[in-house]
Amino acid sequence: MKNFLKDILENKDIEMTGADWIVDIVLACGVFGIALAQLTLTAGLMIPDSFTRRMLGINVATPSLFGMCAIGASALPLVIRRKYSWVSFILCLVTWIVLSTKADEISVSMLPLLVSLVTLCALRPMEDSFVAAFLSFLAVGFVPSLIHRSVLSNITVLQNISLVFAGSGVGIAFKTTRDLVKSAELRIKETEAAAKANTEKRLEEERVAIARELHDITAHSLSAISIQAAAAEAQLEKSPEAAKETISGIRKIAKDSLTEIRRMIGVLREPGDLDSGPELAPSIGTEELNDIKEYLNNAQIDCDVNLHNYNREMAPKFVDLAIFGICREAATNIVKHAKASFVQIDLETIKPDVPRIIRGKQCGCYAQLLVRDNGVGLGKDGIGKTEGHGVEGMRERVVALGGDFDICNAMGGGTLITAILPLDYDGENE
């Protein structure tokens, strides 16, 4: 109950500085001066003839010390109008009612009450504004009518009611405008935060993509170089010519890898369309799968590549490039971990009679890649070892293109990698 009353009486969201208190003190003094002048001058200005004023029962006020203190008391609560809006309003309202019952003038000044009402309506919730306006209407509408019997009392009541209506309207309008501004500022901040988060997400995705490409290129190339170097070392004494040819192959692999890295750096330096030129074009696609076969053969692993049912023209360039990257990474992992002697690579495009659901979307045409080896499988030291970047990189490639990826033990031993990539790609990643 104590906290409830404190929440009502105190505006906790208002932090008052020393300058703010000085402003409110100056405002209270200004209201006091205006109310004092109004009390002194109003009757004489409205009805200059003294005889008429006496006939109407109206006297020009000449404030006494008590009168000035009373006016000061009515303006004093304005000092706390922003921090304690309800307290200020109630004090101003009660003071106005008390002075109205004691005064003999046309009307006691409404200014302190109006200022406190406007402040309350501007700072408090809407329901508080309606309650304060209702209390003000009751006070100014009925109290003078019950006390004064002069001809102008009804005019004064209508005037005061109009002032209360205008004051509460101004306060509510100010609050509504301020709330709209705050809401707009909040939306702007939320939009900026969302844009920043989206930018950071895209940067992270680009960072992962770059890391994946570098890993694929360097891991595959260094693995091939290591295999070729071992072969050259074995051939050096028995067959220098064969060793020389193998070393030439090492140079070719290193040169091709350097070209790949340069092309990727070119894409980073000059973003553009994939068809904008040789520097920015996809470097290697499925037409180079025989290079992977040769790489596996050099590692003493037989390989069969079946592309008979694959229609390259149906596959977007980025999908074709991704398929090659998956094959390259799978081959690298097989050489490193699988201890296999044979690898089968099957790639085909499929247009099923009934659209297949891939990651929650219907797909009428897709590419299916199967990479099978006869190695140790997903054991502790097998290809399925997930703490490296290889399997993770393959999965990221497939998921980024809205496809399905799976790696499991093959029947009869070894490992089976399955990648299904939609070819009717709509550009939305899952």
Please tell me the pTM assigned to this model. Answer: 0.46
pLDDT at 45: 46
- Three-state DSSP at 419 gives strand
Tens digit of each residue's pLDDT (9 = 90 or more) over 407-420: 999 988 899 999 99
Contact call for residues 382 and 416 (beta carbons, < 8 A): no
**Helix 18-46 crosses helix 65-75 at what angle (to 10 degrees)?**
130
pLDDT at 305: 95
pLDDT at 210: 66
pLDDT at 156: 72
Which of 295, 293, 270 shows the shortest CA–CA distance to 280? 270
Contacts of residue 416, Cβ cutoff 8 Å, sequence gap at least 6: 370, 371, 372, 407, 408, 409, 410
pLDDT at 144: 64
**Length of the chain measured in residues:** 430
Contact call for residues 132 and 120 (beta carbons, < 8 A): yes
**Helix 240-269 crosses helix 153-238 at what angle (to 10 degrees)?**
170
pLDDT at 382: 47
Tens digit of each residue's pLDDT (9 = 90 or more) over 102-146: 655 444 678 899 999 999 999 888 889 999 999 998 888 777 666
- Residue that has been written with the tokens 């290591």 in this structure: 226
Contact call for residues 74 and 98 (beta carbons, < 8 A): no
Long-range own/partner contacts, residues 263-272 (CB < 8 A, 24 or more apart): 264/210, 264/213, 264/214, 264/217, 268/210
pLDDT at 270: 53
Task: Extract the residue ranges of the chain whose pLDDT is less than 50.
Answer: 43-47, 55-59, 105-107, 272-282, 382-384, 386-387, 426-430
Question: Across the strands, what pairs with 344?
Answer: 304, 372
∠ CA 264-265-266, nearest 5°, is 90
